[in-house]
A and B are shown apart, each in its own frame.
Chain A
Amino acid sequence: MEDLESILKQHPFLEDLQPEQVKLIVGCAKNLRFKPGEFLAREGQKEACLSLIRRGTVAIETHAPNGETMCIETLMPGDVLGLSWITPATAHFDCRARETVIAFSLDHGCLVGKMKEDPAFGYAITSRLLDNTYQRLSRLRLQKLDVYR
């Protein structure tokens, strides 16, 4: 059976990390399973972990006063959830498992502690978070343009 370390390093977010850096993450990671309909994060609640999605689809949702729920984006295996986690902040949206979701959950306190202790490791994680944030931002900008109108 594959151990946590070898599965972790296959996730695109951790691609090209040094083996010793992956080891640092292992100590902060839990493998979690969410049932369909279960929430990985709720709007207004503290985001205490960064989730690396391994399987399943997560819908990022919000709701209007009339009760209508809108999906803004779906996240897929290989994506990360909880980009604002480094601050740490509260979630801006509900994140719901649309089918069974399997994700690595990286604990905030544990990982940030290691990032502070080891600046090279901190840089490697921060630059990945920035890259993901930038990609998410570009997609949202295009979405905001509402080009198909």
Chain B
Amino acid sequence: MSTGEATRRAPNAYMPIPTRIGRMVGDIEDVFTWALEPSEPFEFAPGQFNMLYAHGVGEVPISISGDPTDPTVLHHTVRVVGKVTRALGALNVGDEIGVRGPFGSTWPLGQAIGQDVLFVAGGLGLAPLRPAILAVLARRGEFGQVSIIYGARSPEDILFRRELEAWRGRFDVDLEAIVDRSGTDWYGRVGVVTRLVAEADVDPETSVAMVCGPEIMMRFTARELEQRGFEQDQIWVSLERSMKCAVGLCGHCQLGGTFVCKDGPVYRYDEVAAKMLVRGL
């Protein structure tokens, strides 16, 4: 499915390019964001991912979380969960990693031109959506109403907090955040992200929704959007599956008849809704 946005292709899809870690931002516990310094300008489209290689340990798919209009710096936001991400997290500024990419499909920004855009992000799902949000804000006049809904586990787990606050301060963006639980020092909303979806001031007739987060959250969000009158073909989601080659050869990322590395990770919801309901797929 074409998203109407030009996908970028890796110059050499099989060869990791040595890339230096220029800056590291400690976002939240167990999550870090890197500003990598590519030796050549690195073009990508919002929604795409790279394979990041920790020397001698292994390679993992990680979405690009930076600004698509700036090819001089490459941002990745990583949660430490296992062997490879732990090895990546142990690296320092100045160290090198291998980068293979970019791969995969993109958020449907071309199709969203002239439409209202609703971004719904949960937890770390804000990272893959961030390039799309930055692209929309950079070309703000081409879109209708822009709404961002963000859900996190707790106030301490809010990703890119300062940036979210800055977006919330704009007159041309509606942003609402909610956390699953909090203490008494949080004055924002407490509850699940679907609550904000149910209340959002959006017109399904004229909107495109881009949703990213844990898969259960995306299913619940899509259901809520459908209840609000969205058709499945107005909703886009980004899926994650275990990957090895990232070029559609090994079959590790297969989801029914599609390869998430090549046909995804961004899908129009009607293409994957039924597959997302199959246990174990």
Q: Does B190 interact with chain A (Cβ within 8 Å)?
A: yes
B182 contacts which chain A residues (CB < 8 A)? 70-71
B187 contacts which chain A residues (CB < 8 A)? 98
B190 contacts which chain A residues (CB < 8 A)? 59, 71-74
A71 contacts which chain B residues (CB < 8 A)? 181-184, 186, 190
B157 contacts which chain A residues (CB < 8 A)? 148
Q: Verify A148–B184 contact, CB threshold 8 A.
A: no
Q: Does B217 interact with chain A (Cβ within 8 Å)?
A: yes
A-B contact pairs, 12 of them (CB 8 A): A59-B190, A69-B183, A69-B184, A72-B190, A73-B191, A98-B187, A138-B194, A139-B194, A146-B180, A147-B122, A148-B152, A148-B157
B196 to chain A, nearest CB (A): 10
Most chain B CB within 10 A, of A142, A143, A148, is at: A148
A74/B184 contact (C-beta < 8 A), A145-B216, A147-B123, A147-B216 known: no
Further 8 A-B residue pairs, CB within 8 A, beyond A61-B184, A76-B189, A143-B180:
A59-B184, A69-B183, A69-B184, A72-B181, A74-B191, A76-B199, A142-B216, A148-B180
The count of residues in chain A whose C-beta lies closer than 8 Å to any C-beta of chain B is 20
| Residues of chain B from 130 to 187 with CB closer than 8 A to chain A in the complex | 151-153, 157, 180-184, 186-187
B189 to chain A, nearest CB (A): 5
Q: Verify B184–A142 contact, CB threshold 8 A.
A: no
Most chain B CB within 10 A, of A71, A145, A149, is at: A71
B28 to chain A, nearest CB (A): 11
Q: Does B14 interact with chain A (Cβ within 8 Å)?
A: no
Q: Does A68 interact with chain B (Cβ within 8 Å)?
A: yes
User: Which of chain A's residues has its CB closest to B153's CB?
Assistant: A148
- State the B residues within 8 Å of A (CB): 122-124, 151-153, 157, 180-184, 186-187, 189-192, 194-195, 199, 213-214, 216-217, 220
B279 to chain A, nearest CB (A): 15
A36 to chain B, nearest CB (A): 11
Main secondary structure of the interface of B (DSSP, over half): mixed
Q: Verify B195–A146 contact, CB threshold 8 A.
A: no
**Cα–Cα distance between A145 and B181 once the two chains are bound (Å):** 13
B122 contacts which chain A residues (CB < 8 A)? 147-148
Could you say which of B123, B186, B192 contacts A142, with CB atoms under 8 Å apart? B192
A39 to chain B, nearest CB (A): 13
User: Which of chain B's residues has its CB closest to A59's CB?
Assistant: B190
Could you say which of B152, B192, B199 contacts A139, with CB atoms under 8 Å apart? B192
A142/B220 contact (C-beta < 8 A), A98-B187, A147-B214, A148-B122 known: yes
**Cα–Cα distance between A59 and B182 once the two chains are bound (Å):** 10
B195 contacts which chain A residues (CB < 8 A)? 139
Closest 4 CB pairs of A and B: A148-B123, A148-B153, A147-B214, A74-B190
User: Which of chain A's residues has its CB closest to B186's CB?
Assistant: A71
Q: Verify B192–A74 contact, CB threshold 8 A.
A: no
A147 contacts which chain B residues (CB < 8 A)? 122-123, 213-214, 216-217
Most chain A CB within 10 A, of B157, B181, B213, is at: B181
Most chain A CB within 10 A, of B180, B182, B183, is at: B180
User: Which of chain A's residues has its CB closest to B122's CB?
Assistant: A148
**Cα–Cα distance between A70 and B153 once the two chains are bound (Å):** 13
A121 to chain B, nearest CB (A): 27
A86 to chain B, nearest CB (A): 23
Q: Verify B183–A142 contact, CB threshold 8 A.
A: no
Q: Verify B216–A74 contact, CB threshold 8 A.
A: no
